[in-house]
Structure 1
Amino acid sequence: MEGKRVLVIGGGTSGNVMTVLLRRAGINVDLVEVKDDWNVRGSGITLQGNALRVLREAGVWDEVRAHGHGCDSLGLTTPDGTVLHVSETVRTGEDDLPATMGMQRPVLQRILVDAVRASGANVRLGTTAEILTQDDTSATVRLSDGTEGRYDLVVAADGLHSTTRAAIGIDAKPEPTGMAIWRVPAPRPTGVEHSHLSHGGPCYIAGYTPTSEDTIYAYLVEPSRDRATIPPETYAEEMRRLSEGYGGAWDEIRESITDPAQVNYTWFERMLVEGSWHRGRVVLVGDAAHCCPPTLAQGAAMALEDAWVLSQLLTSGSAWDEDLLRRYYERRIDRVRLVVEASVQIGQWQLDGVRGDVPGLMDATMTALKELP
């Protein structure tokens, strides 16, 4: 691997882990991220066991475990807060990893940022990249700071609305599913030990997930609305209003929703790039290649698995050629399609008012994901 150069575009979860894994193999990596603050923001994130497996491979599991909240169960409640059922969730990682880990998203990002810094990668923040030319072995890239570089491979980890994806001629775009989600970080109510979900009431889903010893993130899923009709300064008020249909821990959560800047409103979207995830020397990972609603909480896991599988192939001793990049796609596409289609189906049943077999679909999907990618 000596002498190989890789440019990673995007310093989110998949781009950061990709960088760490490649640097461990001695590959020279430049990482560019468009945001000056390295995108250290957000409310919370749920990491399933197969995501934790990759984070352990990247060497950050001990910190993730210390700063998050792991559990193996999920509670279903009525809108008034009455617990209907608590089920054990499938461990999609190894047996010594919890089924799920809730974390504050900024904390996870800081852990990964520190790992990238420690890896010795060359990081440029507030920077974008433009592919100038490609041949059979490399790509020439111009950065927005005016410098140019030649790379053996460019990894596009620049997210759902990837400009790199469009620039290399892949015309796939995310499509809204008809649902939207409100998210907010909040203090952890007494007695909340695992995630709880309520189906029904004024929203399709009302839920909350512990993210540390004293924090959670709470979320409400409703039909998507034109964002232009919801002024950002009213976000806290609007989320409180929607939450009034829910009792139990929501009574305490609702009191803490006061800062509109802490509330995030996002549409659910879906996308799956078919055929291949590369063009020449540029290859997609994570949300740049696929996205799905968070109904299975597998978005981060799929992105992390992309980085793991691609890094395995790049460090296997095989030639960095078309065959290798095709093998990456072939190892990923069926698994990712399974997650995207199941995640969309769960939401569609709710949109259509159909009582689908949500537990059965979730269990079948998670059981399939126990297999290594």
Structure 2
Amino acid sequence: MTTTIDQLFDVADFVTEEEREWQMRAREFAQTRIRPIIDQAFEDRRLPVELLPEVGEFGAFGMYMEGYGLRGASSVAYGLVAMEFEAVDSGFRTALSVQGSLAMGAIYKFGSEEQKQRWLPPMGRGEAIGFFGLTEPQGGSDPNTMITTARREGDEWVLNGRKRWIGLATIAQVGVIWAKDEEGVVRGFVVPTDTPGFTATAIENKLSMRASLQTEIELNDVRLPADAILPGSKGLSSPFKCLNEARYGIVWGVMGAARSCLEAAVDRSQSREVFGAPIGGKQIIQAKLADMFVEYEKGLLLALHLGRLKDAGNLSYGQISVGKLNNVREAIAIAGTARAILGGDGITSDFPVMRHMANLESVRTYEGTDEVHQLVIGRELTGIAAF
């Protein structure tokens, strides 16, 4: 399954044999199980939920976590899996991220031993689906405006509020809801979705991420036992630590989308003829392909560098922002150039490029917009917060 892109720059030269095995297994799964159905799923606005148990069987959910039946793989291995999934569709990689990095990540980092034992094994197997409820309709990039509340009544917590753009909630069995307690401190709660007062509704009118599942959640006097709280979480730093796990996956994932677009452009440049010759024989097309490839290679090397830092325990928030800002921005530019090379056919489902272009606009927005990451990097450079 070697591609033209791999022949010029093969990440296998820089990863371990185990990491490469993860990548190739993910590529096989993505190309044989997801790719044949993804265009129709995008058209139907449907996440292929029937494949999620197979992802669990494959072992990709929470794969870099230790214990609880999870695989304990490296962060680089996880990044390679995210890249192969997103090479087919950003929406399916998002499901991997919501389940593994966000929902499982919150329980793994901040949960009690009882919560971990109860939820992590079935979530890792894909038998239980989870969500991560932070973003609110009025808040967007500023979760400190959170209005969802958690008040204590005897031996129970009572949650009220709304969340929006929450992945997987309509099919989930459990989720983590972030709410402000009576002292105004953000706390996390494990919320089974069959709890009375919990309602999740799919957001249907999306022009991006159509083969994905985002929802709006309403919490009306949702009563939870006292031990539903994540004991290790306190303040916004807790959900931010989970978000940084997801942002790290994006750094790798979008390079998969970029590779897919670049491959489509290279192939089409050899088969599409104008003025009596393939367009790939024109200097201006070769210059565009070369520039696209250079940015792809740089982005992948950046992702690999950040992965090695993460595995060594040395990856900072600012460095993650560098990766997310650069790689999403360059993936979008690569997709746009590829679409131009494909000509009019580039807007059709004969090629994956327009679908990647639409999806990447969502990836640019979630887990921190370009502007948010610019301000994070600016704060690191100057020591002054400009939010």
TM over 0.5: no
TM-score using structure 1 length: 0.29
Higher strand share: 1
Where relative contact order (Cα < 8 A, 6+ residues apart) is larger, the structure is 1
Higher helix share: 2
TM-score using structure 2 length: 0.28
